[in-house]
Structure 1
Amino acid sequence: MSNHLLKYLLILFMATAAAPTQAQQQPLKREFRAVWIATVANIDWPGQKGLSPAVQQQEFKYILDEHQKNGMNAVIVQVRPAADALYRSKLEPWSEFLTGKQGLAMNPPYDPLQFMLDEAHKRGMEFHAWFNPYRATFDAKAEVAPNHITKRKPEWFLKYDGKLLFNPGIPEVRQYITNVVMDVVNRYDIDGVHFDDYFYPYPVANTPIPDEDTYAAYKGLFTNKNDWRRYNVDELIKGVSDSINAVKPYVKFGISPFGVWKNLADGPDGSATRAGAPSYTALYADTRKWMQVGWIDYLVPQVYWHIGNPAADYKTVVEWWAQNAFQRHLYVGLGAYKVASDPTYPEWHDPTQMPRQLQLSRTIPHVNGSVFFSSKSVMSNPNNLQDSLRSSYYKYPALLPVMDWKKNEELEPPFSLKVRQTDRGVSLHWQHDQDVRFYVVYRFEKRNPPIWDLAFWKERKWEPFQPDLNSPATIVAKVFGTNTAFIDETPLDQGKYVYVVTALDRQQNESAPSHPVTLKYKY
């Protein structure tokens, strides 16, 4: 074939190649992708109260397997729904959502948190322990254990809307909640601490918060009760942040507040929204400030509104937060529970609503990922949401975004990579001399250059293989850092494949790759 003909074919190919569609564009190498797994009222897990430990474990492993297929790289699991514990604790009783009765231990004994943590890490996922900081009872009918904190310290609590909540204005309360969080941080190898949106209670019409006596006792120099309430919540967030950073500075601290901080009517720095219970004015949570002063590492505003919502438009809210992220990570909380179920707005029955939200978030600078509420809602596949994650938006795995302000490790690449074909698949073994959080296994199909690469075919210059780690399409797996072996069970065509392995620290900074190893795969 003449050089002129080769050049003509190359030009023709390039001219007729279509521009990439949204789904065909370069997939993201880094993005936070998570689901909330709610245990309160058995929303997501366990499926019901009183299940045996074996069934609980089976259920949770199934949940993780499904979300691994969905492309999730983190789970946010509720471990303290109402001053109780889904883990072994000397401070608070076992949760009723596990055994059916608060304080009743597992039989046979096991530690759900340790189990969930281990299973998440096996699948290459971060585990963020979700605490509800102030809720003490879930409903007015709650039966608490004799050693529940509401029995031991009744003076610490407010009764509002039939429920008990910790009184944020009492300094001892703040210290107690911090102690509960730090008990988990110190004893478990979690990746993050997570608070939800319940600070001061969501307001009930004509029902003031009964904290007059607390204000009189602890107001200090404050003359405005609302400012004092915000100070109380600030002190808790700062105290937890400082405590985590003093012990395990690599553990992330994130909060998921109500989606709107302030409406524009509340001040010129608010968003162009008319939401009913903004964090700043209704819940006394200055969530924007916590990002600004660096007390938290990430924020997940619950943007549970559709695109075009008249009171709080999705695009308006996300863009406002992106402009107020202050170099911290911003992940968008998505209302998967509304898809195909919200009777108020037909927009939630539009199968393109959630995909358009995902697409829109990816076009807005400073948005680093998404979190779905909740696990069960995604797994039920409303309007084919789960299918679209698997086939398009989360088709390829992603590493988590790096938090530059956190301590980073200087990682050497793994070495002595060995690859061989076995009956089970391709077996990989490597070595490494450092403690790492995960290893990443990449696989490349080794092919000859295209026919129009005239210089190559003329001179036959075989350059050493240079792995391109920018595309997540080549990622085979994330392996927890205690393992230095993996079996790639992917069905492969006959041919040559190249493997490399990299190391990740706790912030998922990535090392250089190991030396590449080529395998000639045969049937």
Structure 2
Amino acid sequence: MRGVWLTTVWGLDWPKDKADTPDGIRRQKESLDRTLRRLKADGYNTVFLQVRHSGTTLYRSPYEPASPAIAGEGFFDAGYDPLTYAVEACHQLGLAVHAWMVTYPLVSPKRSPHPLLRDHADWAIAHKGSYHLDPGNPEVRSYVAHLATDLARRYAIDGVHFDYFRYPEAAETFNDRTSYARYGSSFPSKAAWRRDNLTRQLREVRDSLTSIGSDIQVSVAPLGKLKMIPDLGRSHGWTAYESVYQDPETWGREGLVDFVVPMMYYRGDLYSPFLQDWKEKVAPYIPVIPGLAAYRVEESGWPSSVIAEQIAEEREVGLGGVCFFREQHTSSRFPLVRQVIEQAFASTALPLALKRGEATAPATPEGLHAVFVSKKEFNLSWTLPRGASTRGITYRLWVTTTDSHGRRAATLLAQGLRSPECRLTLEDFVGDDCAEFGVEAVNSFGVATPIAHGLELNLAALRLEQQH
């Protein structure tokens, strides 16, 4: 995986323009298109798009208010849904898109209390000047699972990605005594009960998604330090297991998540030992994708070479890829970081193929052909064999081009196509004389068929025909 977190809270990465006028909507779309094209060109294959902040959403939710980052005071134009647009834009570029949710923190303006505080006051606990949904409350867990299921039902996302999936900072002072007294008496300690609450949450998410026939991927961004390492020889800071009660080993062993993206925003002896710890304890069950701190180059004065070294170390250890926080810090505003990433991502890579999808590998497409709808535009289409299941199936479209000097190049044209067709233009292949197309079916776990070839277009001849 070559991922990036695209942060929408406060418009940090996107959007910079409000969608409260037709012109604002246009600028918002164009800005996202530029960002996604840049990510595609730089070699990324996965976008974690922040769709839920601390109780507000980037999409049309029947349960929570819209984020002011999108349209001021929550205005949504009747014909525009940012998430629908973003998913389609990502898939047209061959980028997987995972809906990134801030899970338990809750921000509630004083002048207009959040609906959850108004209607379910016992769900949230005041803590350090804000609110935090109580993972120990079964109704909270059902609500979070319902939010994830609603996303999966209404949007063609590739996965749901939980952030702040933990107990809050200074968790020892988090006042969940009431729910502990009610639900935790059978556990040997409050720590064990809290860890079980988060694990129960993931079970409920998985069961809820299964109940609607959804096979989207589920992931979590835990803290970057898994557990205390006894012989580390220095202060650890907080850890996932001991400090905020995350238990990724259990999640992986029980198959509750498809992968984890630990936020490893450290370097040196706070990076390498913990990278190995993830490798030994969690990677035997599920892919581990280290989250790297591109932002540290600007905010902490790291040399960009640290990022290059961490990518190289991840590859040497043999994990599942990397993900960067956050998009803007990988852009042309920070050319040294961008150059490091471009070099690391120089060859094409596909999103992860997950083990739990191998038993339901899709049928190989057939009948790939082109129909010209104008002199410049043509439609590629194909079918699956009669009787083949289409549940959760998407398509990836490939092309191998040959230029006038005989140089060949293979390119992923599109990914996540929901129907067996794709419209292209001759202008998509400027400088190429010939194009051979191939298509593969992909299930929702990223497991693909062999590429079905069989269609070759003589682009040079087609251009000559246009001149007559």
Length-normalised TM-score, structure 2: 0.86
1:280 and 2:245 aligned: no
1:199 and 2:166 aligned: yes
Q: Does the CA contact (< 8 Å) of 2:330 and 2:337 recur in 1?
A: yes
Matches within 5 A, 1:312-351: 312=270, 314-324=271-281, 325-343=283-301, 348-349=302-303, 351=304
1:229 equivalent in structure 2: 194
| Change beyond 3 A, Cα 1:319–1:185 | same
1:174 and 2:141 aligned: yes
Distance 1:370 1:235 in 2: 27
Distance 1:304 1:412 in 2: 41
| Change beyond 3 A, Cα 1:246–1:272 | farther
Q: How many residues align?
A: 444
The Cα shift of 1:353 comes to 1.7
Matches within 5 A, 1:30-429: 32-47=1-16, 52-101=24-73, 104-107=74-77, 109-137=79-107, 142-143=109-110, 145=112, 148-203=115-170, 208-265=173-230, 274-306=235-267, 308=268, 310=269, 312=270, 314-324=271-281, 325-343=283-301, 348-349=302-303, 351-365=304-318, 367-390=319-342, 392-406=343-357, 408-418=360-370, 429=380
| Change beyond 3 A, Cα 1:254–1:144 | farther
| RMSD between aligned residues | 3.0
Distance 2:82 2:112 in 1: 19
One-letter amino acid of the structure 1 residue matched with residue 177 of structure 2: E
2:394 equivalent in structure 1: 437
1:10 equivalent in structure 2: none
SS of the residue 1:389 aligns to:
helix
| Change beyond 3 A, Cα 1:239–1:443 | same
Distance 1:144 1:80 in 2: 21
- Rg (Cα) greater in structure: 1
1:505 and 2:412 aligned: no
Determine what percentage of the aligned residue pairs are the same residue. 24
Distance 2:265 2:447 in 1: 29
Instruction: Return the structure number with greater strand share.
Output: 2
Distance 1:147 1:259 in 2: 31
Distance 1:428 1:363 in 2: 43
| Change beyond 3 A, Cα 1:109–1:321 | same
Distance 2:70 2:422 in 1: 35
Q: List alignment gaps of at least 5 residues for structure 2.
A: 464-468
| Change beyond 3 A, Cα 1:327–1:47 | same
Distance 1:88 1:183 in 2: 11
Q: Does the CA contact (< 8 Å) of 1:417 and 1:517 recur in 2?
A: no
The CA deviation string for residues 424-461 of structure 1, in whole angstroms up to 9 with x for no partner, is 69x67343236541232231549999xxxxxxxxxxxx
The Cα shift of 1:297 comes to 0.3
Distance 1:294 1:444 in 2: 41
Distance 2:453 2:99 in 1: 33
Distance 2:26 2:432 in 1: 39
One-letter amino acid of the structure 2 residue matched with residue 320 of structure 1: D
The Cα shift of 1:419 comes to 9.6
The Cα shift of 1:178 comes to 1.2
SS of the residue 1:368 aligns to:
coil
SS of the residue 1:515 aligns to:
strand
SS of the residue 2:173 aligns to:
coil
Length-normalised TM-score, structure 1: 0.77
